[in-house]
Amino acid sequence: MTTLRKDLQLIADMIEPENRVLDVGCDDGALLDYLVNEKGIDGRGIEISQKGVNSCVAKGLFVVQGDADNDLHEYPDNTFDYVILSKALQAMHQPREVMLNLLRIGKRAIVTIPNFGQWRVRFSLLTRGRMPVTKALDKTWYNTSNIHFCTITDLFDLIEQENLKVAEFVPHMSDGTRLNMGRKRANWHADQALFLLEK
């Protein structure tokens, strides 16, 4: 049994076996490989880096080089049971369109975000007056690929605005520890949050 990074394990636990899964931004394929081998998933990936693609291909995974902003629209409706977008929504040029696309091509979407509303981030901006650089968000404003930061509350607002359903909400810390709290408190405490979305 392979051990997964804890935040990826949270995602893996949410997926029913023997389903079709698309992992958008699948990196070196660790999560996909786990899903394929341990859960009998029919998995596909999208990954921007050549290194990531080569690593996936060597694992026997099927991965298309590309990114969510440009390539999701090429996939037909309802191709997958789950589409995963892990910690990448904030790096999209069109996060709303990407989120809607996830739920067009998949029955369910699993979206995780770094929470810009967490108290450390708020405190850092309040006291230092500079764009926050924390352990979870360790790049400066000019070299970060994160161009559309949001908070947990922001994402809930968008989800409601688009009439999508949150089937599960799992706020957690970077190390994968779940926080057992509602969305308001989670927006203050959680480093990250996982949303299982449905149409």
Partner 1 sequence: MNTSACNSVSLFTESPLELDSGATLSPVNVGFETYGELNEGRSNAILICHALTGDQYVASNHPITGKPGWWERIIGPGKLVDTNKYFVICSNVLGSCLGTTGPKEINPATEKPWGIDFPVITIRDMVKVQAALLDHLGVDTLFALIGGSMGGMQVLEWLATFPERLHSTIALATAARHTAQNIALHEVGRQSVMADPNWNGGRYYEKEAKPDKGLSVARMTAHITYLSEDALTRKFGRNLQSRDAITFGFDADFQVESYLRYQGSTFVDRFDANSYLYITRAMDYLDIAGRHDGRLADAFKNAAHVRCCIISFSTDWLYPTAENKRIVHALNAAGVPVSFAEIESPHGHDAFLLEEPEMDQMIEGFISAAAKARGLSS
User: Which residues make up the interface to partner 1 (CB under 8 A)?
Assistant: 44, 50, 53-66, 74-76, 79
Q: Which residues contact 81 (CB under 8 A, 6 or more apart)?
A: 16, 19, 20, 21, 106, 107, 108
Residue 116 Cβ vs partner 1, minimum distance, rounded to whole Å? 33
Name which of 85 and 186 has its Cβ closer to partner 1. 85
Name which of 36 and 194 has its Cβ closer to partner 1. 36
Residue 66 Cβ vs partner 1, minimum distance, rounded to whole Å? 8
- How far is Cα 56 from Cα 45, in angstroms, rounded to an integer? 9
The terminus-to-terminus CA distance of the chain in angstroms comes to 33
Task: Compute CA distances 150 → 92, 119, 122, 157, 193, whole Å.
Answer: 12, 14, 12, 10, 11
Compute, in degrees rounded to 10, the torsion defined by CA atoms 151, 194, 46, 40.
180
Residue 110 Cβ vs partner 1, minimum distance, rounded to whole Å? 20
Tell me if 195 sits within 8 A of 172, measured CB to CB.
no
Name which of 46 and 170 has its Cβ closer to partner 1. 46
Name which of 55 and 187 has its Cβ closer to partner 1. 55
DSSP-derived secondary structure for 145-198: S--S---HHHHHHHHHHTT-EEEEEEEE-TT--B----HHHHHHH-SEEEEEEE
Helix, coil or strand: residue 9: helix
Residue 77 Cβ vs partner 1, minimum distance, rounded to whole Å? 11
Name which of 104 and 172 has its Cβ closer to partner 1. 104
Name which of 64 and 159 has its Cβ closer to partner 1. 64
Residue 64 Cβ vs partner 1, minimum distance, rounded to whole Å? 4
Residue 42 Cβ vs partner 1, minimum distance, rounded to whole Å? 8
Name residue 19's amino acid: N
Q: What is the C-alpha radius of gyration for the chain, rounded to an integer number of angstroms?
A: 16
